[in-house]
């Protein structure tokens, strides 16, 4: 069982609102690249970011739609692990 390029990472629900965050693909400057296939041909670098949008705005750590937390991760797995232990997320 290889964990390399594992895109089926498990995320814990948000401790505040219970919604699941998203893992967003971006380049190495933190720009979101949601277009299909970018991860297979990451011409501007590849990073993974966390995003969490709560439509009801009940969650104190939720972001606006389309925004991501500032931390860049090398893999989706790292992003998920950071979320699950809540480091690099909402620590301001
Ligand atoms: Zn939340």
Rounded Cα distance between 8 and 15, Å, is 21
2 alpha carbon to ligand 1 midpoint, in Å? 30
pTM given for the model: 0.81
The DSSP 8-state label assigned to residue 19 in this structure reads P
Average pLDDT (61-75) is: 94
Confidence of residue 90 (pLDDT cuts 50, 70, 90): low
Ligand 1 mean position, distance from CA 13 (Å)? 8
Give the H or E element holding residue 47. strand 47-51
31 CA → ligand 1 middle, Å: 22
Residues around ion ligand 1, judged by CB within 5 A, are: 14, 16-17, 59
């Amino acid at each position: 069982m290889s964990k390399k390029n594992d895109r089926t990472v498990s995320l814990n629900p948000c401790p505040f609102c219970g919604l699941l965050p998203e893992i967003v693909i971006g380049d190495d400057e933190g720009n979101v690249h949601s277009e299909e296939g970018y991860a297979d041909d990451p011409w501007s670098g590849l990073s993974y970011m966390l995003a969490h949008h709560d439509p009801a705005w009940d969650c104190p750590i939720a972001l606006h739609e389309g925004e991501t937390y500032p931390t860049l991760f090398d893999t989706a797995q790292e992003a998920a692990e950071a979320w699950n232990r809540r480091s690099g997320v909402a620590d301001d």
